[in-house]
Amino acid sequence: MENVPVRTMLQHAEKKRRYMNKTELQLLLTALPFFLLVLVFTYVPLLGWSMAFVNYIPGVPITESQFVGFKFFKMIFGYGSDLPKAILNTLAMGFLNILVSPLPMILAILLNEVRRSKIKRFIQTSVTLPNFISMIIVYSVFFSFLSVDGGVMNELLLKIGIIKEPLNLLGNSSATWYFQTFVGVWKTIGWGAIIFLGAIASIDTQLYDAASVDGAGRFRQALHITVPGLMPTFSVLLLLGIGNLLTSNFEQIYVFHNALVHDKIETLDYYTYRIGLINFDFSLSTAIGMFKSVISLILLFSVNLIMKKVNGYSII
């Protein structure tokens, strides 16, 4: 290497640099269609935020609508507004979702410890399948089991004498937050576990071999190798979850909504839907949506900054 002229080394480095630039260009062109899709369907609709500052009437162009400034932003916190109740419901279910966020990681660790591949595949398929089921069908399943009139679960509990009258979880407002959290976990825990199983596969197997030589059992290996190896993935998912704290699963809320649980199940997304598409107050619903987006961004960047100071890495 010492006999190679400096100019030759520089020329080789320059050729390598040109090659890397070409590779980067190819990757950029590959990602360009997806970037355009995000731009068209995510950022272009933000132009509709202008409706929050005008008295928009359907059929009248926004440019010809009466400008009202921050009138609708004042109305969302005005007297008689249901926004505080919607925020409370959203935060309550959001924090419950964060509280149960380690469950997919725990499931992935347990699945990883199953040595029989057939049993492992069966369990993994069983818990992942609900993620691909329509929320309408999910509601139908829970209605069949928990309905007061002829629900399978109620009929069974009544026959064996555990309860004296049918349980009405679908119409019990005091249990709404916990019940909706359970439905969300049941539907998504298998899909979340797949992410952590992929992260487990990336952990160096030599660490397990060294721990086994030192006498560590499977539990201690999982506790001291698998869990620390999954923490970066869990931290990123937790950060994204906190950023989406004010975003609820609208499909789930919509299909499980009824008059008995309205006060506990109406989240910000459902409230925005009710104001905008049921009451046709598009300007007010746009103002509510802008408020939710700004608060979500503040939460995301705040938690990202805290994570960067604590762990030394972040996603932004």
Q: DSSP for 102-157?
A: THHHHHHHHHHT---HHHHHHHHHHHHGGGGS-HHHHHHHHHHHH-TTT-HHHHHH
Give residue-wise pLDDT tens across range 58-67: 888 888 889 9
CA distance 75 to 95: 27
Tokens of 252: 């789930």
pLDDT tens, 91-137? 999 999 999 999 999 999 999 888 888 898 999 899 999 999 999 99
Q: What is the mean pLDDT of residues 17-24?
A: 65
Q: What is the pLDDT of residue 48?
A: 87
- Residues facing residue 66 across a β-bridge: 55
Q: 120, exposed or middle or buried, with CB in 10 Å at 0-12, 13-18, 19+?
A: middle
Euclidean distance between CA atoms 70 and 55, whole angstroms: 11
**Phi and psi angles of residue 67, each rounded to the nearest 5 degrees, phi first:** -75, 130
Phi, psi of 149, deg, nearest 5: -100, 95
**Distance (Å, rounded) from C-alpha 71 to C-alpha 51?**
12
CA 316/CA 314 separation, integer angstroms: 6
pLDDT in tens, 215-270: 888 889 988 999 999 998 998 888 888 888 888 889 999 999 999 999 999 999 99
Share of the chain above pLDDT 70, in %: 92
- Which letter does DSSP use for residue 64 in this model? G
Angle value at C-alpha 181, between 179 and 187, nearest 5 degrees:
105
Looking at residue 253, its pLDDT comes to 94
Stated pTM of the model: 0.82
The per-residue pLDDT for 115 is: 85
pLDDT at 292 over 80: yes
Which one-letter DSSP state was computed for residue 246?
Answer: T
Q: Do residues 281 and 274 make contact, with C-beta atoms less than 8 angstroms apart?
A: no
Pick the residue with more confidence: 257 or 169? Answer: 257
pLDDT tens across 138-162, in order?
999 999 888 888 788 888 888 888 8
Reported as a single tens digit per residue, the pLDDT across 268-277 is: 999 999 999 8
55 token code pair: 């008295």
Mean pLDDT, rounded, for 70-74: 89
The SS3 call for residue 300 is helix
Beta strands at 66-67 and 54-55: parallel, antiparallel or unpaired:
antiparallel
C-alpha torsion sign, points 169, 171, 172, 176: positive
Taking alpha carbons only, the member of 300, 302, 290, 108 closest to residue 193 is 108
pLDDT of residue 88: 93
- Per-residue CA distances from 107 to 114, 170, 186, 199, 263 (Å): 11, 27, 12, 13, 33
Which domains can be identified in the chain, with CATH numbers?
1-69 (no CATH), 78-311 (1.10.3720.10)
With a cut of 90, say whether residue 183 has pLDDT above it. Answer: yes
**Is the predicted pLDDT of residue 213 greater than 50, yes or no?**
yes
- Nearest-10 crossing angle of helices 152-159, 135-146: 20
Least confident of 3-17, 195-209, 297-311: 3-17
CA angle, corner 179, sides to 173 and 183, nearest 5? 140
How many beta carbons lie within 10 A of that of residue 36, not counting itself?
Answer: 10
